[in-house]
Amino acid sequence: MNRARILEALHERPYNANQLSETLGLDHRTIRHYLELLQKNGLVSRPSGEAYASPYFVSPYLEGNYAVFEEIRKKLLSSGR
């Protein structure tokens, strides 16, 4: 569920990896790993050519389908996963 927490945080506002680490109480390496996976799968993005500490954003694809993401997350939470 950590990836879902990252997506929820980014849906509220852009964060860089350090800010997400502090906000969510997760190790910086864990955050970086999840951000790479989420970016590879088209769920988050960051401006091309930006520096190391540049912020991540929810991708336009996820933004357009965020209600579906929330519905799936609620079902997973209610099933105890």
Domain harbouring 28, CATH code? 1.10.10.10
How many domains is the chain built from?
A: 1
Q: Does 76 score more than 90 pLDDT? A: no
Give the domain extent around 44.
Answer: 2-78
What is this structure's pTM? 0.88
Per-residue pLDDT tens for 5-62?
A: 999 999 999 999 999 999 999 999 999 999 999 999 999 999 876 677 899 999 999 9
Q: Does 81 score more than 70 pLDDT? A: no
Section 58-79 average pLDDT = 92
CA distances, 73 to each of 8, 16, 28, 52 (Å): 10, 23, 24, 30
